Structure 1
């Protein structure tokens, strides 16, 4: 992926800012910078940029538990700040940024100040020797080499030669940054699904209405009721929640093989906890087995049956999921996902 060319500007140097990255700082610094320029800001406080960095990464770290690497201080700063500030996991970017800019807590301010020694001058390494901080500050203040911005103690000033370019191409530049960030994080999380989909908080989660109405209502309608695998509560049509067996925050999809009816009260408390397979796999699998048999019999062309292809490669074999091989294959698909999620910080369900 390339960024737009602009005659007279060293665009190739801007693209090179993400070469040889050893932490996420540069990606989130640039996203924060672009966001401020989009709002018409050209003299931007470092405090605002550092706060925006944490805000952009907040959901990826706290909700999806994506690892930034053991040495990445941005992830560590978010964890520290979350224990100090009254901010929820799903707080929006503006709310987080505003809280961090105006924080009364010295520990939060200290966590933000850390990045002043790591990010603003190092981002300009394609223009200047990044290991000489004083030199970078001095040269940047005269926009030497048409560098992107000038550095001062508490703020930066966008080079006027770059302002229109940044504003006009903000969307493409952010996509370029996210693309590079996704590649970087996928390297740190090789077995975690859908890294690209975990970089931005979706405005609204997709509804599970179709999975309820066209799959599980069909199953429960045939059986009359089913038992919640967690609470043994009897569930009928209209009295159950559609629940992700492995949390959505990890798998990042709504495929039917990971969805089951559950007690609504329990579902709201389970949150993104991981199920213990030794306790819950048997009832989970039996429920899936019954569901596949019923839907295959009543709605053999259901698109939801095709979603089992990621578990059982032969669609005709999903007619009953009755063989020992089917059962073993199903469990073998779930186990590594749960193990990786646990290693990334998801907690197990304690019941």
Structure 2
């Protein structure tokens, strides 16, 4: 998303605007500006700090709780340093709302636990609202004492706005009761370029999160809850249905014989980590167990059974034209990674070679998920 090509009829300082998200050592600016735009899209032009922070927590909820992403570093003793991440984790510990709860539910929970979250929320207002405007403050350096003198800083922003229309001003008030007031000319700019600006923020946010979570795939899919995404498992289910019609297939965890109507297609390593529906990570699983496994990892001891199950599936396809037809229909959506068709699902592999290739590819993914904080599921 190249926001630098934005043109606008008013005499706004777009050059400074596009630098608002530069040099971010923390994620706060992304979530702050995103929250500001979301509330503006609801018709709000004067927004209390408290409401903005509530939105930021709701925005970060899915990435932190559902997908185990880190928003910032830990210190030497393992303490999370990022105030937004701490707020989300604390909210999760204080409530029983589901990981994929809707935004309204999350914001309501934040309000109900406002006292417990006050420290983290207050910390988030110390610098972000003001530092966001630093590209417009050409006379103020990064270590200027004014940054620690909020009344003086607010007065400076007010005077600056008289010389040059800046995106918003800040009203004096007590802590979280301060307000952001979006300037009218910038309201028109935000309205006309809402989609472009939102996309720009998302790209910046994804790049930051990838840097903080280098071993995690599919970061861009981990900003919203999983149930908002289109899943592509239909052809995989058809494949396993066809196999079950011809031979016995057992659940690798319970050893229960699976029938046509009593299994789900499950990810060995959870989708919320891998962010794909690759066939080599999918298996038929007893429906009654799938809900208890949820978003957790199986014990690695089940890998061998899983790999043998995968090998049986491919051997069945090679020996049956009908099953092979179902297998080929999975290729577009479920066999995207080139190595799967170049190294795994190839005629030359006997069972030992097949299992070895699958382990070499899947074990590092499994280990990365463990490092990221995914829990082990035990029956």
When residues 163 and 104 of structure 1 are mapped into structure 2, their CA distance, relative to the original with a 3 A threshold, is same
Alpha-carbon distance in 2 for matches of 1:175, 1:290: 44
Three-state SS of the structure 2 residue aligned to 1:156 is strand
Q: How far off its partner does 1:317 sit? A: 4.9
CA distance in 2, matches of 1:292, 1:113: 56
1:343 is matched with which residue: 366, 371, 379?
Answer: 371
Shift of 1:308: 7.5
Q: In the alignment, which residue of structure 2 is the partner of 1:209?
A: 234
- Pairs within 5 Å for 1:40-189: 40-70=43-73, 71-100=81-110, 102-128=111-137, 129=140, 131=144, 132-133=146-147, 134=150, 135-142=152-159, 143-144=161-162, 145-152=164-171, 153=173, 154-189=178-213
- 2:12 aligned to 1, 9, 12, which one? 9
- Structure 2: 5+ residue runs without aligned partners? 74-80
Q: What is the TM-score with the length of structure 1 in the denominator?
A: 0.92
Relative to the length of structure 2, the TM-score reads 0.86
Alignment correspondent of 1:228: 251
Q: CA deviation at 1:291?
A: 0.5
Aligned length in residues: 347
1:109-155: CA deviations, max 9, x gaps?
A: 33212211031111111112365233431122342532211112311
TM-superposition CA deviations, 1:210-254 (whole Å, max 9, x none): 3212x111211121x311101111111112111111101101111
**Equivalent in 287, 291, 307 of residue 313 of structure 2:** 291
Q: Distance in 2 between matches of 1:99 and 1:147?
A: 33
Matching residue within 228, 233, 248 for 2:271 = 248
Cα deviation digits, residues 16-62 of structure 1 (max 9, x gap): 01111011110000110001111111100110000000101111111
Shift of 1:321: 4.2
Q: Do 1:182 and 1:195's aligned partners in 2 also have CA atoms closer than 8 Å?
A: yes
Distance 1:332 1:308, change over 3 A: farther
Computed over aligned residues only, the root mean square deviation of the Cα atoms, in angstroms, reads 2.1
Shift of 1:174: 0.7
Q: Aligned equivalents of 1:37 and 1:309: distance in 2?
A: 41
For 2:353, the equivalent position in structure 1 comes to: 325
Whether the 8 Å CA contact 1:247–1:274 is kept in 2: the answer is: yes
Alpha-carbon shift at residue 207 of structure 1 (Å): 5.6
